[in-house]
Amino acid sequence: MHSAVQMVKVMRGDFEESVHFGHAVVADARGGVIESWGDINRMTLPRSSSKILQAIPLIESGAAYKYYLNSEHLALACASHDGALIHTNIVQEWLKNIEKSDSDLRCGPQMPNDNIASSVLIKDNKKPCQFHNNCSGKHTGFLTLSKFLCGGSDYHALDHPVQQTVKECFEEMTNTSNAGHAIDGCSAPNFACTLVGLAQAMATIAEANEISSSSRVKASFKLLEAMINHPDLVAGEGRACTDLMRASNKRVVVKTGAEAVFIAILPELKLGIALKIEDGSTRASEAVIAELLARYGVLDRNHPLVRKRLQGPITNWNGIETGEYRVCFD
């Protein structure tokens, strides 16, 4: 086992003010490790970075076909969205199409992260709904699969057919079995895996195509294409996932997870990346994923949306630049 390595330094003037430690791995689908830092076997809760894995059964089962889901629905099934109208309008339409409503969701209400949407709720003195929750796309996908499987209402329960199907797919894709789980922020189980297993799962998706005879490969390809074509649905304006995918010009899929987990899928190179920052710092995880993608040639480090993730800068309330953060791993 290897210890976490220094990945990002935070500078204030000439002083090294803090350091973020972490782990990262670049892998292929055949079990090969191309590069790694820290402990690649670190047992990790991938949080929302694993949403594409959780969405595979939605397609593989035939549920997506039966209920006429398009690429926008599939992108939202993999999303941690901002609750903007572009997100919630589709979720509400989707719920209506499967003859369900907001009350059937189990993710809980959440004030939208989108400023316009939250301002409208405040102005109208309305409370947020469950469809505003950043995971409502994933949960509507679960609800769709539950209806297809004739499952009960509590589709988020560990012993429900939906979650058992998700668990089986997740463990097969990550080559990690019975590693345990925890309850995510949206109340669904989040299954643990090794960091290298997560990277290899993403590399498997990177190799997916639409002509395969495998239903799982086809499902993976549909989700990959949906995320590539709808970066605005995967996160939102100003968010790292949306910005970095836009900057790559459809060459990569990236997805963050809470507590500084990040994955990337590189279809051109048939590689997957997974990383975890030990202290849960988002600024560090965004800097590391941007740096790795620049090193592998799918991002231009001089692109404005990339550069601001790589170095900051750090400013004070007067707008004065007081420091920056720097990637510091070889």
| pLDDT 10s digits, 83-119 | 999 999 999 999 999 999 999 999 999 999 999 999 9
- The first and second tokens of residue 270, run together, are 């048939």
> pLDDT tens digits for 264-278?
999 999 999 999 999
Mean local confidence (pLDDT), 1-13:
90
Helix (H) or strand (E) holding 202: helix 195-206
Structural domains of the chain in order of their starting residue, each with its CATH number: 5-327 (3.40.710)
Helix (H) or strand (E) holding 71: helix 71-77
Mean pLDDT, rounded, of the chain: 97
Structure confidence at residue 330 as a pLDDT band (50, 70, 90): confident
Name residues whose C-beta falls within 8 Å of residue 272's C-beta, 6 or more positions apart in sequence. 26, 27, 28, 29, 198, 199, 200, 201, 202, 203, 204, 205, 206, 263, 264, 265, 266
Residue from 48, 52, 8, 29 nearest 196 by CA:
29
This prediction has a pTM of 0.96
Query: CA–CA distance from 172 to each of 168, 200, 206, 253 (Å)?
Result: 6, 11, 16, 21
Find the largest Cα–Cα distance for the chain: 62
Mean local confidence (pLDDT), 158-165:
98
- pLDDT for the residue numbered 323: 93
Of all residues in the chain, what percent carry a pLDDT higher than 90? Answer: 97
Residue 214 per-residue DSSP state:
-
Phi, psi torsion values for 6, nearest 5 degrees: -65, 130
Residue from 238, 272, 279 nearest 258 by CA:
279
